[in-house]
Amino acid sequence: MQSLCPVQSLCHGGWSVSGGPPYAARVVEASPVRSLRVEAATPEDFPRIAELTAGVYREEGLAPEEYQRELRDVAGRASRAELLVARDGDSLVGSVALVLAGEFGEITDSEDEAAFRMLVVDPTARGRSIGELLVQACLERARAVGKRRMVLSTDPKMTAAHRLYERLGFTRLPERDWSPLPGVQLMAYARDL
C-alpha cells in the first residue's frame, strides 16, 4: 500500500522526525495512516452514495437530467443489487452496484453473467486505485457465487474507466452496445471469470 506520509523520508513507524542536528531532534506524531477497504454498504451510507454518484455524473456531463433520479435512488438500487463502498478511514470515497441476478443488470444475457453499474470515486480521492479495488471486489464476489463472466456498459466519454477495465482484462463487446435513453449510447465490455 502506498504510504500516505507527506514527507516520505521522514516517516517511520507512525512517527515523523524533523529538524535540527541529531542531539536536538524533535519527534512529532504523524497523522494516522488511513487504510482503504471495500465493504457492503449500509443504509446509513445511502445519502452519501446518492450525493457522490449524482454529483460525479452531473459534474462530468455523464448523465442527462432524467437519469439523475435513478442515480439518487440508492434504496431502489440496493433492492436490486449488492452495493459496495470504498472507505478511506471513516470517509466513503467510492461506490459500485454489483448485479448478480435480475433485470437491473440490463446488459447481462444469461445466468452465468454478473454486471456492475454506477462505479464512482470521489474526485478528491482519485489516483489511489479505489476504482480498481471496487472492480476487483465485484470480480471476486461474482466468481464466489459461480458467475462465469462479468459485463458492464460505459459511456464513451469515460476514457479513464476504459483504461482501467482494459488493464483488468476486460475487452470490448460491441455487439452488446446499447442506448438506455435517446441520445445516450453505451459501450459494452466483458471479462471471463
What tens digit of pLDDT does each residue of 51-61 get?
A: 999 999 888 88
Contact call for residues 161 and 154 (beta carbons, < 8 A): yes
Contact call for residues 92 and 52 (beta carbons, < 8 A): yes
Query: pLDDT band at residue 34, thresholds of 50, 70 and 90?
Result: low
Q: What one-letter code names the amino acid at 81?
A: A
pLDDT tens per residue, range 61-87: 887 777 888 899 999 999 999 999 999
Take residue 165 and report the three cell numbers written for it.
477495465
Take residue 154 and report the three cell numbers written for it.
460505459
pTM (predicted TM-score): 0.79
| H-helix or E-strand spanning residue 180 | strand 178-181
Distance CA 76, CA 58 (A): 20
Going 133 to 60 to 77 to 160, the CA torsion angle's sign is: negative
